[in-house]
Each structure stands twice: as structure tokens, then as C-alpha cells.
Structure 1
Amino acid sequence: MKSATTFLMFQGQANEAIHQYQQWFPDLEIKSLSYMENSQQVAMAILDLKNLKIMVNDSVIQHNFTFTPSISIFLECESVEEINHLVAQMLEDGKALMPLDNYGFSKQFAWIEDRFGVSWQLTYN
């Protein structure tokens, strides 16, 4: 096996999602980004978030499925301020699957589905 990578397939919102994630995560690095011909739809993008490689694209085929909360990106925050800030941003047009709280296994934990349907688990201990 050469590598393993998280892959997020959107249906027309990939470019918007990439720009949103850049605002949320100043450390997010776009390694590559190409668009479909005569379009703002993403043919393929490679992102790096704290050494997590994420591939992103817009599917040219319409599917009857989207993201599921069963798969999520897990983020360990460095401070209470950081987790509060990220949760507040993600909740704008998103929804809390588990609101920010102390659940025993974490001093502060939240499970958020962003406005694109991508699930994020955030923790601070």
C-alpha cells in the first residue's frame, strides 16, 4: 500500500467548502487544486490539515447519497478558546450532533455536522 487518504466527494460545493475550511483552519494548506473545464467545480484538490491529507472533489455523477456522521474528522484542540471558536463557526448553518459539553471522556467535546454535511468531532482535554 502506498498511502491512505481521507476523500470528501461533494456534488457542486467542493470549492465553497474548501474556502470555508480555509477560514476555519488557518493552518489548512492547499497542496493542489484543479477545476473542471469551464467550471468552478473542483476536479481534484489535495488539502493538508495538520498532516492529515484530504482529497476533495465534485462528483460529475449525481448520487443518491451524501456524507454520513458515521465517518468524521476528529480534531484535538489546544485550548478552550479554540474549541469554542471552531464550534461556533461550524454551527453557522450546521448542526450539533452532540453539543459542546463535558461528556466525561473529554472536558469539552462536540460533534458537529457542517453546512456541507461533513462531520467533525472536536475535543479539548
Structure 2
Amino acid sequence: MQKLTPFLMFQKGEAEEAMTFYTGLFDDGEVLVVERFGAGEPGPEGGIKQGVFTVAGQQLRCLDSPAVHEFDFTPSLSLFVRCGSREELEKLWAGLAEGGVPLMPLDDYGFGPFGWTNDRFGVSWQLSLS
């Protein structure tokens, strides 16, 4: 059976920090798997070889990339979250936008409260009140 899972590749050894941040910010956040690179493996020793976590009812995977790439995260692909309350929307916005780069600040754009930001890791998030 096929299953689509977003996969976040970190290039600066930030996978564990990001996973901890996201699972602490979202009420249902949970780290499911942490597998680390060992000595002599192609990745940074102790870095995340495979991380699996859930936020907003969605499972995601991540790793600390053993290879350096000329590309990184881009807002042309973002994680979209429908929030159940204004309080949840504002809490998530405050956490994700802190240290990040807001693309569309939290506001009403004629289709309800909405915000779009790149977080401090460069991952792009769209938040909307359902």
C-alpha cells in the first residue's frame, strides 16, 4: 500500500532540533523514530539518519543530509495546516514565524485569517483558520 509522507532534508545538522521544535509546538506532536548516524557512516556521527514524527495529524520524515546540496527548502512547496481555533492559529503562527521570514503576515486576506511563513529552519508553512 502506498503512502505519501513529506520528507524534510536538513543540511546544517538541525533535524533533531527541528523535530523537537515542531513536536513541542503542535498539541499532537510526537517523535516516533530516531535513528542516528554511527561512526564511519556517511552522515555526521550522532546526526539524524532517520527521524519520523507527527504534527497536525500528519507523519513526516527528516534527516541530516550526509551530502551538501546547492539547494535547500523553498516556499514553492509548503506545509498547509488548517487550525481549529483562532488561539491555535495564533500560537502556531507565533512559534513558526519567530526567527523565520513571514511571506504573508497573519491577516484576513478576504478568505479568513491566514498566514504564510518560512520558519527558522527554512521550512515553509501556510496556516489557515478552518
Q: Any idea what the Cα deviations from partners look like across 1:62-119, whole Å, max 9, x if unmatched?
A: 01110000111100111111111111111211111000011112x2100010000000
The offset of 1:50, in angstroms, is 3.5
Counterparts of 1:22-33 in structure 2 under 5 Å?
A: 22-33=23-34
Alignment of 1:1-125 (within 5 A): 2-11=2-11, 12-38=13-39, 39-105=45-111, 107-125=112-130
Large movers: runs of 4+ above 6 Å = none
Identity of aligned residues (%): 42
TM-score (norm 1): 0.92
**Aligned AA for 1:85?**
K
Q: Which runs of 5+ in 1 are unaligned?
A: none
User: How many residues of Structure 1 are paired with residues of Structure 2 in the alignment?
Assistant: 124
Query: In 2, Cα distance between the equivalents of 1:88 and 1:49?
Result: 16
Q: CA RMSD in A?
A: 1.3
Q: Is 2:18–2:121's contact at 8 Å kept on the other side of the alignment?
A: yes
Q: Which residue of 1 aligns with 2:42?
A: none
**What TM-score results when the alignment is normalised by the length of structure 2?**
0.89
